[in-house]
Chain A
């Protein structure tokens, strides 16, 4: 269960201050699948980085399973990112000189998973995101955008996080592969009780999530669903 309380993040650019996140509050049940939509530059990535403890809010707090991130020291925040969060970056952010498998193994290495176990799991995850087996050991800077995106998703799933924060996870994928990734994420929320928050421009993806939020001028509003879903 994630409770976001009056979250504010402001940036100073020159003598202007901008507040892409300006008083955001919401709650997410454990195991729910939710999406955030909004115009480019509306602050979606900024909000995700606050939830994933990559950045610290100017004010407000994020409470995860009763623990307030605002009160945690850096070491605990690192542990939170390592254990509880799976982040899929908009820019993928893979380590370019490492192979796909090595990239997926990294979070597990940091978590102290034994080598054989992490190699096995990395291969399984890459199969789940439908990466060609012959590309498993290819350096990620020699993979296409869509392939990199799938490696990034596999890496986010590596440590079986409680919360997956995915920034445009299907942006570079063809329709069919995109569908598959969405199916993969919803099965995680269904079967593993993983909470999933997806930022997307993709209307059809947003339609498929249980809840959908719109970020506009620093505020988050929930779209009211009319039709039945799933």
Chain B
């Protein structure tokens, strides 16, 4: 018989009471763990939001965005200027191209049909030919959009939609988000001119392309290095090549369509935005923060995080108080027995340890049951917390006037339509929020073993504190209690 064995034995002396105590403890511990898991899930999501979209600025040529507007194109030199602004961690230049499917005859046809002939899209985007077919059907929007590019009202044959090709200076999409490459690899050195490309999933499927397949742009053969999934129909009807390659294809070396500026932290975004704007000059560039409305999402997520933290601490304290009360009760009940142990020579610390261990046995049982409860409940709790949060955010955004589109699923916004909608701007207003909404609902409150272990460690720490008070009370019981009547 050791102290531990005695403690375990004592924990089960009154089985019905033990079961009741364990049940109550399990609820408190389960709630604490669920709150911790929710807190971690939300925290991770806040970080993800901040990291992915919260700290990027988009620089467009002044007066131009995508295909629209005019002004002077951005240059590589301006990218360097932006990079030297304080708090800027990275500047990624992009060069957008419009790929028009060659109908098999001459390239001249392409030039005629495409909207790139100096009319329309601000001279920003060069139109080049390709043997790829767009993965998106023209549909009504497509025909309407593309009709704008040609003169007159002559009836046009059913046309194929253009494909967006973007030269990128790093492995990010045209909004600065990391590319999700589902097969193959990235392009390696994004500052080198190389005939390799990344192709969107739906475009690859439409053209039977896999990693290693080839296709042509402007009669030059490109090898598919990887397939990416942008998560949207429009986004997947796209090709990425390295920035120098796109500049070469467009025959506009040193020109950039946009720059994506990454700021080192969320707090510095506003000041850096102004600094970059000043550095480049208002006549040269427009600096926008496409994901402004995410701040609302992040701040309300932050408050959810705080609430769950408070709930975690409260549930933990409850577990501690339950232990405290139960152990105080047990000490009172076993006064005489404690007297016996002292009368036959037990040290105070031996008896104290016995009671602390007994409480830990109860907590261990409560934790096992509580962890099961938590793993069942935390998913529901997290999505309930976040679900209500998303609703408030959506409402806020609508008030701000930015986002009827925000209420729509992301994919519905650009559709097959708005030219250049992949760029922050017209489509971007709704787009990023749509993306955020997707991110929010996809918070998965998976019970990670590390978090669970940390939570249970906290529970045990609190239990020890709770049990210490009654354990110290036992030191005050005198051995003469042994002679008192039952």
Chain A complexes with chain B = yes
With an 8 A cutoff between CB atoms, is B388 at the interface?
Answer: no
Tell me the bound Cα distance from A49 to B340 in angstroms: 12
B343 lies within 8 A of A54 (CB): yes
Within 8 A of B (CB), among A140-174: 155, 159
Nearest CB to that of A161 among chain B residues?
B345
A52 lies within 8 A of B1 (CB): no
A109 lies within 8 A of B10 (CB): no
Tell me the bound Cα distance from A155 to B483 in angstroms: 17
Tell me the bound Cα distance from A110 to B341 in angstroms: 9
B344 lies within 8 A of A107 (CB): yes
Min CB distance, B431 to chain A, in Å? 69
Query: Given contacts A95-B337, A110-B346, is CB(A89)–CB(B1) below 8 Å?
Result: no
Chain A positions near chain B (C-beta within 8 angstroms): 45, 49, 52-55, 75, 78-79, 81-83, 85, 87, 89-91, 93-95, 97-98, 102, 105-107, 109-111, 115, 155, 159
Tell me the bound Cα distance from A81 to B346 in angstroms: 9
Tell me the bound Cα distance from A81 to B480 in angstroms: 12
Number of interface residues of B (CB under 8 A): 23
Min CB distance, A7 to chain B, in Å? 15
Tell me the bound Cα distance from A205 to B2 in angstroms: 37
Contacts of B340 in A (CB 8 A): 89, 93-95
Chain B positions near chain A (C-beta within 8 angstroms): 1-2, 6, 9-10, 13, 336-337, 340-348, 350, 478-480, 482-483
Indicate which residue in A82, A98, A115 contacts B9 across the interface (CB closer than 8 Å): A98
Indicate which residue in A79, A91, A102 contacts B1 across the interface (CB closer than 8 Å): A102
Contacts of A94 in B (CB 8 A): 340
B342 lies within 8 A of A78 (CB): yes
Min CB distance, B55 to chain A, in Å? 62
B9 lies within 8 A of A97 (CB): yes
A/B pair count, beta carbons within 8 Å: 73
A81 lies within 8 A of B479 (CB): yes
Min CB distance, B479 to chain A, in Å? 4
Contacts of B345 in A (CB 8 A): 78-79, 81-83, 85, 107, 110-111, 159
Given A52-B343, A95-B340, 17 further pairs, Cβ under 8 A:
A49-B483, A54-B478, A75-B347, A78-B346, A81-B344, A82-B346, A87-B343, A87-B344, A90-B483, A93-B336, A93-B340, A93-B482, A95-B341, A97-B9, A107-B345, A110-B346, A115-B2
Can you list 30 residue pairs at the A/B interface with Cβ under 8 Å? Answer: A53-B479, A54-B478, A54-B483, A55-B478, A55-B479, A78-B345, A81-B343, A81-B345, A81-B479, A82-B344, A83-B345, A87-B343, A89-B482, A89-B483, A90-B483, A91-B483, A95-B340, A97-B10, A97-B13, A98-B1, A98-B6, A105-B1, A106-B1, A106-B341, A106-B344, A107-B344, A109-B1, A109-B2, A110-B347, A159-B345
Min CB distance, B215 to chain A, in Å? 79
Contacts of A111 in B (CB 8 A): 345
Query: Given contacts A78-B342, A110-B344, A111-B345, is CB(A54)–CB(B1) below 8 Å?
Result: no
